[in-house]
Structure 1
């Protein structure tokens, strides 16, 4: 009797496993809606984000203006959609920029013993300053533009990633397969990329989601204080700063951008927690 062969089942990918967790699934769903709304802003927005209508200033939410209008008669719903594009773009760019700096510093510090002390002291010095104060100082020195905000926040959050990469690299560099690669004469850059960097991807991915959320909060804070992106560009922070003057008579100007920040940051945190539970071997067994 011929044996019946059963094809091996493919292991579910990270996204499929992530969606099995209710809190992470909610975070992914909310984040997808926000990202799609930002991408499709030109098609969804009923007005131009800079269109003024003094006759319609401070109108409450209605069918014509779903989220009301601000002090210059601009549609709050439209400006929120375009502000989402700015905030998400800045947050994503900060993650990329800080990851590049953090990976370079972390690999250098963790793999090369002679460079560990000076690079670690540099990382400690960067982390000694409060995040928002260092960001304000850097933006003030560089200038209030979107690119400079990304650079400033990237420098602020890079030490966090550098510490994660360094801690993982210190362990990986002592493993047998790394020692074997060294003995075989494999070039150091190849070892760093093929054997070390590939094994620190999981903690980097988790940390990246938290930095994404923190970057959105920091950008909103800088814009609220007037030292972030130019006021001509819609951002959630500048909308809240504008609505602060009319909080008693037009609270919707602050309420809706504030709710957008809370939902975006909360969804990113839920996704980050889910990824941490999935990718951490010590926690994966409980899923």
Structure 2
């Protein structure tokens, strides 16, 4: 039987990514932000929720690197702790939407009789703007980290399903899949060993973009006041709180905005690098 095409992974991929300076920088930014979020209780110089009215709206300085907010809370500490929530939401949404999207994409792409209903549902869900659908779902479920993750996972699952379905439609017609069928290999084994393994590359790339989209959506929901509980620091809620003081204390918006920008930009750069490295035609040009 003909062997399946090589799938993602291995030293070759690492070498290709290492040759792109922008990808290395993106991974370094993600590592620093992730490490700071994980080690927040150690890295943060102060309690993110400790009130100090006497120090309210203090500009950035040695005592408070990023300044303080209207309640005297240290913004540097809040940005670090906020990264925990924002990164957790992005990671969980990327994982859950990928798993669900792969399932529906495989079912629709491999089984012809399921293709039409799955495609119609996916198209119907994608007809709604992402943020509006997310707002509706969070409003129905209630504001919490878990409900935001659920809502955004529902929003981004159709995107992954479309990628998985399109890739499955191509793999399904290849010679080695036909040979496996002729040899009597079970359908589920074909799906796992011959189809899923060979659509991993585009799914990994899509997952990185979903991670970035989910973080932006979470920030947007928190900014609108329909996301995470306002008492929980997130980059979106910090920007929402700081917009009232944008003219007198611009640092309240500046630093969480920089954190969101750096994280999303790094994810996009890494996603582009993965796409170029995993695409056989593009990887030859690297």
Q: Give TM-score scaled by structure 2 length.
A: 0.95
1:168 Cα offset (Å): 0.7
Q: CA deviation at 1:15?
A: 2.6
CA distance in 2, matches of 1:51, 1:113: 59
Structure 2 Cα separation of the partners of residues 12 and 99 of structure 1: 24
Compute the displacement of 1:12 (Å).
3.2
1:185 Cα deviation from its structure 2 partner: 2.1
Aligned to 2:4: none
Question: Deviations for 1:124-173, whole angstroms, at most 9, x for unmatched residues?
Answer: 00100000000000000111111110111111111111111101101111
Per-residue deviation, residues 23-62 of structure 1 (Å, max 9, x unmatched): 1111111111111111111101111111111111101111
Aligned to 1:263: 262
Query: Secondary structure in 2 aligned to 1:38?
Result: helix
Over 3 Å off, 4+ runs: none
The aligned counterpart of 2:5 is none
Identify the residue that residue 226 of structure 1 maps to in structure 2: 225
**2:37 matched to which residue of 1?**
38
**Structure 1 segment 245-284 matched on structure 2, within 5 A:** 245-284=244-283
> The residue matched to 1:205 in structure 2 has which SS?
helix
> Greater CA radius of gyration, 1 or 2?
1
Give a deviation string over 1:207-232, Cα, whole Å, max 9, x none: 11111111100000000000000011
Whole-angstrom CA distance in 1 between matches of 2:11 and 2:85: 34
Q: Deviations over 1:214-259 (max 9, x none)?
A: 1100000000000000011110000000000011111100000001
1:194 Cα offset (Å): 1.0
How far has the Cα of 1:177 moved from its partner? 1.5
Where does residue 69 of structure 1 map in the other structure?
Answer: 68
- Please name the residue that 1:216 is paired with: 215
Aligned-CA RMSD value: 1.0
Q: Which runs of 5+ in 1 are unaligned?
A: 1-10
Matches for 1:60-209 after TM superposition, within 5 Å: 60-209=59-208
| SS, match of residue 149 in structure 2 | helix
For structure 1, which segment, 223-232 or 22-31, has the greater mean C-alpha deviation from structure 2 after superposition?
22-31
**Distance (whole Å) between structure 2 residues aligned to residue 135 and residue 97 of structure 1:** 15
Q: 1: distance between equivalents of 2:120 and 2:104?
A: 11
Distance 2:56 2:11 in 1: 52
Partner SS state of residue 199, structure 2: helix
Report the CA distance between 1:261 and its aligned residue.
0.5
For residues 151 and 88 of structure 1, the distance between their equivalents in structure 2, rounded to whole angstroms, comes to 15
Q: Quote the Cα distance in structure 1 between the aligned partners of 2:12 and 2:36.
A: 26
How far did 1:183 drift?
2.0
Alpha-carbon deviations, 1:64-94, whole Å to 9, x = none? 1110000111000000000001100000000
Instruction: Output the CA distance in 1 between the equivalents of 2:148 and 2:187.
Output: 34
In structure 2, distance between residues paired with 1:81 and 1:169 = 41
For the residues of structure 2 that align with 1:282 and 1:180, how far apart are their CA atoms? 26
Which residue matches 2:17?
A: 18
